[in-house]
């Protein structure tokens, strides 16, 4: 009886893993095609065309964090390329797909993207700074605790401090060490040759620019 139960458990585990692998294989190629298209061209029109395709991939794979992460990421980019007024429906999509990604795997990268969402909400509604700024900082600290080598988390935390007045615990001097750490981690990340294609890499140029500004203004 014990052997039979063990066999049943092992069979179920194998079936579950096999199904997961097959599901991932189904979304990897189409998602990569759209991401490579955005990387190669990056125009608002290309992003607009790729976004609904990535959204369909995400909606079809609610148990996979990566497609939903990128659906949120592309929606966030759509917001910023929409012009001065942004794109509120896009921001709502960011929240929607991040919520799915968080349920699938609330890892350091997902936490960092959630913090980016909070920072964007702060830029749209600056009077809500007492609400969104601490939420962004807390989520970034959690992201760093989950993965201290995540440069995006360090970069966004540094930016959070940079734009927080010194009287409230922020300022360039407080931001500089976090941004310096981010730059170091981005450089280390760039040297990795066997890194999974789908793991995020964005933010390096922004971190370097913000680090330069923070150092100049802190001195």
Which of 75, 105, 135 is at the close of a domain? 105
The enclosing domain of 157 has a CATH number of 1.25.40
3 lies in a domain?
no
**Do 134 and 218 fall within a single domain?**
yes
pLDDT of residue 42: 83
Residue 147 sits in the same domain as residue 187: yes
Question: 132 and 83 share a domain?
Answer: no
Residue 146: its pLDDT value, please? 98
What local confidence, expressed as pLDDT, does residue 83 receive? 80
Using an 8 Å Cβ cutoff, are 50 and 37 in contact? yes
Q: What pLDDT is attached to residue 49?
A: 96
Is 176 within a domain? yes
Read out DSSP for 142-195?
Answer: HHHHH-TT-HHHHHHHHHHHHTS-GGGT-SHHHHHHHHHHHHHHHHHHHT-SS-
Q: What is the pLDDT of residues 191-210, one digit of tens each?
A: 999 999 999 999 999 999 99
Nearest C-alpha neighbor of 174 from the set 130, 119, 137: 137
pTM (two decimals): 0.88
Judge if 155 and 195 occupy the same domain: yes
Contacts of 132 (CB under 8 A, 6+ apart): 118, 119, 121, 122, 125
The answer to whether position 2 is within a domain reads no
Q: How many domains does the chain have?
A: 2
Please report the pLDDT score of residue 86 as a whole number: 86
Question: Quick check: is 212 in a domain?
Answer: yes
Residue 118 resides in a domain: no
Residues 96 and 139 in one domain: no
Is there a single domain that holds both residue 99 and residue 180? no
Residue at 207 is within a domain: yes
Q: What percent of the chain has pLDDT over 70?
A: 89
Looking at the structure, do residues 132 and 218 belong to the same domain, yes or no?
Answer: yes
Q: Which domain-ending residue is among 105, 136, 160?
A: 105
Please report whether residue 9 resides in a domain: no
Q: Which residues of the chain have pLDDT under 50?
A: 4-20
Does 94 share its domain with 146? no
Range of the domain at 41: 30-105
On whether both 146 and 216 belong to a single domain, the answer is: yes
Domain end call among 105, 137, 169: 105
pLDDT at 211: 97
Q: In the predicted model, what is the mean pLDDT of the chain?
A: 90
Clarify whether residues 200 and 166 are in a common domain. yes
Residue 14 lies in a domain: no
Are 100 and 135 members of one domain? no
User: Is residue 131 domain-shared with residue 214, that is, in the same domain?
Assistant: yes
């Amino acid at each position: 009886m014990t052997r039979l139960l063990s066999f049943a458990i092992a069979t179920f585990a194998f079936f579950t893993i096999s199904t997961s692998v097959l599901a991932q294989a189904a979304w990897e190629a189409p998602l990569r095609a759209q991401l490579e298209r955005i990387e190669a061209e990056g125009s608002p029109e290309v992003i607009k065309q790729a976004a609904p395709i990535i959204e369909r991939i995400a909606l079809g794979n609610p148990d996979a964090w990566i497609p939903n992460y990128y659906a949120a990421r592309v929606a966030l980019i759509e917001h910023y390329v929409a012009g001065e007024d942004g794109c509120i429906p896009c921001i709502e999509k960011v929240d929607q797909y991040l919520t799915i990604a968080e349920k699938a795997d609330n890892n350091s990268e997902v936490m960092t993207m959630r913090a980016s969402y909070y920072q964007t909400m702060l830029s749209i509604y600056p009077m809500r700074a007492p609400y969104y700024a601490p939420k962004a900082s807390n989520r970034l600290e959690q992201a760093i605790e989950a993965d201290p080598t995540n440069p995006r988390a360090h970069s966004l935390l540094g930016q959070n401090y940079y734009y927080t007045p010194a009287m409230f615990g922020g300022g360039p001097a407080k931001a500089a060490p976090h941004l310096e750490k981010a730059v170091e981690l981005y450089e280390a990340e760039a040297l990795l040759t066997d890194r999974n294609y789908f793991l995020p890499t964005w933010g390096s140029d922004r971190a370097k620019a913000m680090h330069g500004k923070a150092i100049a203004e802190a001195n």
